[in-house]
Structure 1
């Protein structure tokens, strides 16, 4: 590899980091609705920095959320419900702080979280899975917008989340059919 190739790969570290996350999310997945937690965690990663108007806390917030998700998934519980509690906490914090630009993040987080709950509670794994796939692909659009606007979260997070959302959204569709 040339130094130019290595430089390009180094610049794309968020994309490269997304691959193991995707593989870990798909490992042992028997129902696509098991990905519902991402429809709460991903928007939460926008809501937390928006609550404090500090984009720099995005990656630490994602790490905390990821470490919280692991044990819940291993115990057979759907982490989406635990993450909903965190979402409510940060809505309260952001509202109290009157953080600029917070309102749209709170609305988006509530919509994605609502979609996650509807998908989890859907009687049909196919319908629930399709809702998850649609939500992930819609969130990829959210990521693309924020990557381009370079607001709320670091561009590295928006890129990483975009890759995770697109690959898992497409994988969800493939797994359903």
Structure 2
């Protein structure tokens, strides 16, 4: 292999290494979008992704650790997976309950400061709970649009946190931004076409 070809492969490898969160978010968000598009998942189940995203940010702030984001994400992944396997189990409200518990832990730890940490993340989680309540009260097109707009708002939240390097690991903010955007666009398109 020539030196130029080897250098080109090295640049591609480094690009993939730098962009793995976006690629993972695209794969994960794409899989969720296809599941929604073909009717394998519902609007309420797509809304659980938004609830999980809020939990990851709140939990990271409560624990005072940006690195905690990935283990918290893994926890929500398992909880949502149980919800798919056990229809009587509601992962969304389980995650909300866990968010309350972890927020209390954060308060006990003294994580009330800085203001952009636990206090702001708790407000964001409260807004997400309002979206979840709205989804529970409405159905069809309106519910899909509500979750889609909520996910787009969270994608903007991800960008803000990626730029400021706060609360969650940068890789999580990048991953979540792509996932949220892909799923949000799908929800909005499907909801408007029904």
Same fold (TM over 0.5): yes
Q: Match of 2:20?
A: 13
Of residues 72, 82, 98, the one that matches 1:86 is 98
Deviation, 1:164, is 0.5
Aligned pairs (5 A) from 1:159-174: 159-174=174-189
Report the structure number with the largest CA radius of gyration: 2
Aligned pairs (5 A) from 1:116-155: 116-122=132-138, 124-155=139-170
Unaligned runs of 5+ in 2: 1-7
Deviation, 1:30, is 4.8
Kindly report the root-mean-square deviation, in angstroms, between the aligned alpha carbons of the 2 structures: 1.6
Deviation, 1:21, is 1.6
CA deviation profile, 1:106-148 (whole Å, cap 9, x unmatched): 11111112212211331x3111111000100000010000000
- Whether the 8 Å CA contact 2:60–2:168 is kept in 1: the answer is yes
- Whether the 8 Å CA contact 1:32–1:175 is kept in 2: the answer is no
- Whether the 8 Å CA contact 1:34–1:78 is kept in 2: the answer is no
- Whether the 8 Å CA contact 2:56–2:69 is kept in 1: the answer is yes
- Whether the 8 Å CA contact 2:161–2:173 is kept in 1: the answer is yes
Q: Match of 1:109?
A: 125
SS at match of 1:12: helix
Supply the distance in 2 between the matched residues of 1:61 and 1:138 (Cα, whole angstroms): 21
SS at match of 1:17: helix
Runs of 4+ aligned residues of structure 1 deviating over 6 Å after TM superposition are none
Deviation, 1:19, is 2.6
Q: Match of 1:42?
A: 53
Q: Match of 2:79?
A: 68
SS at match of 1:2: helix
Deviation, 1:24, is 3.5
CA deviation profile, 1:20-67 (whole Å, cap 9, x unmatched): 322342324353332111121001111111102111111111111101
Aligned length: 176
